[in-house]
Every structure is written in C-alpha cells, then in structure tokens.
Amino acid sequence: MNYATSLPMGLDSSAIAKSVAADKKPLTEVELRRSRQGYLEALPRELERITDLIRFHEGHLARYAGDVEECDQKIKVLEAGIAQLSPLSATRRDVLSRVDDLRRKVERLQDTRSLANDAVTKHSAILADNKRRHAAFPMEDLKAYVAEQKILEAAGL
C-alpha cells in the first residue's frame, strides 16, 4: 500500500508543529529544576566521554600517521632497488621477474598507504571536532555542580 497517496494533499508540517507547540503546557518550576539537575548531573559523564574520544582519536591518528611514514620509507627502499635492478632486467630474465615483484609490492604498499592516509584524514577531522566540543564545554556549569556536590557531601546529604 502506498501511504503517501493516503495523506491529505494540503498537509502543512509547520502548521502542525505550531499547533503542537501551542497545545504544550509551559514547564513548571519543579520541572525546570529537574531538567536543570539532570543536565548538571550529565556534565561529568559528557566531559569524560569527550576526553576519552579525544584520547582515542589521538592514539589512532598517531598510529595511522606512523603507518603512512612506514609505507613511504618502504616504498623509497623498493623504488631504489627497482632503479638498481632495472638496467640488468634487459639481459636477465630472473632480474626482470624480481623487478616485477618489487613493482607489485610497491603497488600494494601504495594501496596500504592510501588507506592509512584516509584514516589519518578521518581521525584528524573527528579529533578536531571533539577538541572544538571540549573547548566549548560549559566548564562553569560543571565547576558549579562539582562545588555544590562537595557542599552536599560535606553536609552529609
């Protein structure tokens, strides 16, 4: 059944949203306090989560960046070997076979390097986003909440 055809043609989602908003009762003072308390209680976990994400992506970024460098070094060594063996490959069949093997290894290393470089790009972007989130984190609210919790703890509540 095609549900799209059973909907009225003049359906206006913004009008429905306005109607729902108008029907919604404003929050009471108690509801506002509970909402604020829930927000404050979630702050330490959220900060820890952001910090863990930063640590995770920094570690992966370093690992993949190291893989890229390692691939670059191996490619240089193999290309140097190819350059040395290429003059001999015209006269010796076994050298030609070895040069072909080295070229295939270079291609595989370039593919691996490309994948590692893509991972570096991805983790760099995610890390930058998480660092922005950490910089924009409401530390004042967290400090106030922690201070309030210390006072309540000292009072035995």
pLDDT at 1: 44
Q: Which of 66, 81, 75 is nearest to 107 (CA)?
A: 75
Q: How far is 124 from 115, CA to CA, in rounded Å? A: 14
CB atoms within 10 A of CB 54: 17
pLDDT at 2: 47
Q: Which of 117, 121, 124 is nearest to 72 (CA)?
A: 117
pLDDT at 12: 67
Mean pLDDT by 10 residues, the chain (157 residues): 50 69 73 83 94 97 97 96 89 89 96 97 97 94 90 84
> Domain extents for the chain?
31-136
Give me the DSSP letters along 43-62.
HHHHHHHHHHHHHHHHHHHH
Number of H helices, E strands in the chain: 5, 0
pLDDT at 9: 55
119, 60 contact by CB (below 8 A)? yes
| Model confidence pTM above 0.75 | no
